Amino acid sequence: MEWGRCTDKELRELEAIVGAENLSTGESVIRLCSRDESYYTPENPPQVVVTPGSAEEISAILKIANPERIPVTARGAGTSIEGNPVPLFGGIVVDMQRFDKIVEIRPADFVAVVEAGVGYKDLNKAAGRHGLFFPPDPGAGAMIGGMIANNASGVRTIKYGATKDYVLKLTVVLADGEILETGSLATKSSSGYDLTRLFVGSEGTLGLFTQAALRLAGLPAHFSAALATFPTVEAAAEAVFEIMRWGFSPAALEILTAELVAMLNRDRELGLREEPTLFVEFHGASEVALEEELGPVQELCQDAGAISFQSGLGIGERNELWEARYEVYESIKRTHPGADPFVADVAVPISRYPEIIEYAGKVIRDCGVAGYPFGHAGDGNVHIVFMGDAQDKDGWEKIQKANQAIVTRALELEGTSTGEHGVGIGKRRFMEQEHGKSLELMRQIKALLDPQGILNPGKIFPSSSLPLDSS
């Protein structure tokens, strides 16, 4: 079935809904809203970008788009790295930036009610005044709606959980324009199907969120941070497994290769030992509780062959390290000016972490590609940023092969093709392999909620007619 296009009539109707100042068909806006942080670009860019200001306006937009089968793609901050918000079949981009209100913070209930376009960093500034925070932390300037749609997580997920663990209620506009509320403010519920979590991770394919009630956590009273270095990245991964196996509960446990530490030293003058490194952080109610965890963790690292273990980092040093850690992706890009990044994001059960780290290193060497593994090790999550030229067919093919091999191994190890970045365009081709018959049920849910298929088409589900899925 053909996709619909906005004619002058629909463009006039859209303008009447959002106002002329909130509609653009200008080339630069269209280009901006055709991209995320990945290399994917649409062959058929969107026709129009609208910036509505209420759920009712989004509902009216969908009531125009749905009968004509005009694609509608929601856009948050556009920081995805799998092509998640890249509109593939023209149509309308719904830019959520005007949904920027923190509606309410209820400290006594540990709850924040926010609109979908609020940046999580802004939410954390406001919640911090009450001694609270929203723990999922993808690092980039993501919006709450985009984080919910991708089920984002980050460095603190190991202790606090991912976005899915914090969404209590959602206001969703469905494809036919109906406005729905799911969930409640109770922190637990056994009441019927969990529709809220059905929408979490749906990447804009089941509905557009306008507002969410989110659980908040108390800011930790004390923290301790440590750096451990190892002779090999495999030894560091072994230490990760031991720390988790013994039941410790770090707030962050990140792995970096010697090469990446060297890049951070270059960009930030950190003076770190250029060896495979673990960043470990603990949060606790007292200094004593933290020391009780850090001592045995140091021993476990030494048993795994640690060369050095530096604890007692002050707040300044610790913050500097985290800022540098968040910059890893940019540091890699600076090392390869003009090259295109391609990011792998597999996650495995923690006992298989050393295996996937070792395997990723072998694949990178065997394929002869530029690839940099790092990740949220305590979650069993490894990212590999590959750098190459997307226009160089042979070179890019090698990167695709390396990625394919690593994802396949992660699935063999009973893991997943994407720990936190979502399926978008890049991971569609692994969905069949990962989900088997469950993928058909996902297709049926999609067809039930969006029978015309207008919401962010071409994402999540593989199809032989889509480029990149036929190989």
Ligand X SMILES: Cc1cc2nc3c(=O)[nH]c(=O)nc-3n(C[C@H](O)[C@H](O)[C@H](O)COP(=O)(O)OP(=O)(O)OC[C@H]3O[C@@H](n4cnc5c(N)ncnc54)[C@H](O)[C@@H]3O)c2cc1C
Task: Indicate whether 341 belongs to the interface with ligand X (CB under 6 A).
Answer: no
The only residue of 146, 250, 276, 458 in contact with ligand X, by rule CB under 6 A: 146
Longest dimension (CA), the chain: 71
Strands in 208-215's sheet, in edge-to-edge order, are 102-106, 111-115, 208-215, 167-173, 179-183
37 binds ligand X (CB under 6 A): yes
Pairing of strands 208-215, 167-173: antiparallel
Q: Cα–Cα distances in Å, from 357 out to 36, 153, 368, 467?
A: 27, 20, 17, 30
**Residue 219 beta carbon to ligand X: minimum distance, rounded to whole angstroms:** 20
Hey, which residues between 355 and 374 contact ligand X (CB under 6 A)?
none
Q: Counting contacts by CB under 6 A, is residue 456 touching ligand X?
A: yes
> Is 324 in contact with 261 (CB distance < 8 Å)?
no
Rule CB under 6 A: say whether 149 interacts with ligand X: yes
Single out the residue of 123, 121, 99 nearest to residue 112, CA to CA.
123
- The H or E element that residue 280 is part of is strand 277-284
Query: Any contact of residue 36 with ligand X (CB under 6 A)?
Result: yes
- Binders of ligand X among residues 54 to 73 (CB under 6 A) are 73
Shortest approach of ligand X to residue 394 CB, angstroms? 27
Q: Is 415 left (phi over 0), alpha (psi -120 to 50) or beta?
A: beta
- In this chain, which stretch among 139-147, 261-269, 284-292, 389-397 interacts with ligand X, using CB under 6 A? 139-147
Residue span 278-297 as binding mask against ligand X, x where in contact by CB under 6 A, dash where not: --------------------
Residue nearest to ligand X (CB): 146
Residue 446 interacting with ligand X (CB under 6 A) = no
Burial tier of 316 (Cβ tally within 10 Å: 0-12, 13-18, 19+):
exposed
Give the three-class secondary structure for 345: strand
Nearest residue to 342 (alpha-carbon basis) of 372, 387, 375:
387
Q: What are the residues facing 460 on neighbouring strands?
A: none
**Measured from the CB of residue 141, what is the shortest distance to ligand X in angstroms?**
7
The DSSP bridge partners found for residue 89 are 44
Judged by CB under 6 A, does residue 324 bind ligand X? no
278 vs 306 by CB, closer to ligand X: 278
| Residues 244 and 378: beta-carbon distance below 8 Å | yes
Q: Which is nearer to ligand X, 32 or 307 (CB)?
A: 32
Q: For ligand X, what does the binding mask look like between residues 74 and 93, x meaning CB under 6 A?
A: xxxxxxxx--xx--------
Straight-line distance from the first to the last Cα atom of the chain, in angstroms, rounded to the nearest whole number: 23
Contacts of residue 440, Cβ cutoff 8 Å, sequence gap at least 6: none
Burial pattern 98-130, b for ≥16 Cβ within 10 A else e, equals: ebeebeebeeeebbbbbbbbbbbeebbebbeeb
Does residue 329 interact with ligand X by CB under 6 A?
yes
Region from 22-30, 134-142, 175-183, 257-265 binding ligand X, contact rule CB under 6 A:
134-142
Q: Does 458 bind ligand X (CB under 6 A)?
A: no
The smaller minimum CB distance to ligand X, of residues 10 and 37, is found at 37
Compute the least distance from the CB of residue 288 to ligand X, in Å. 31
Q: Is 421 in the site for ligand X (CB under 6 A)?
A: yes
Among the listed residues 52, 154, 201, 354, the single contact to ligand X using CB under 6 A? 154
Contact status: 140 vs ligand X (CB under 6 A): yes
Minimum distance from CB of 30 to ligand X (Å)? 15
Region of 102-110, 151-159, 220-228, 263-271 interacting with ligand X (CB under 6 A): 151-159
Alpha helix stretches (DSSP H) within 200-274: 233-245, 258-268
> Is 229 one of the binding residues for ligand X (CB under 6 A)?
no
Closest distance to ligand X from the beta carbon of 19 (Å): 20
Other Cβ atoms within 10 Å of 364 Cβ, number: 20
Binding residues for ligand X, rule: CB under 6 A, are 36-37, 73-81, 84-85, 96, 116, 138-140, 142-143, 145-147, 149-150, 152-154, 203-204, 208-209, 329, 420-421, 456
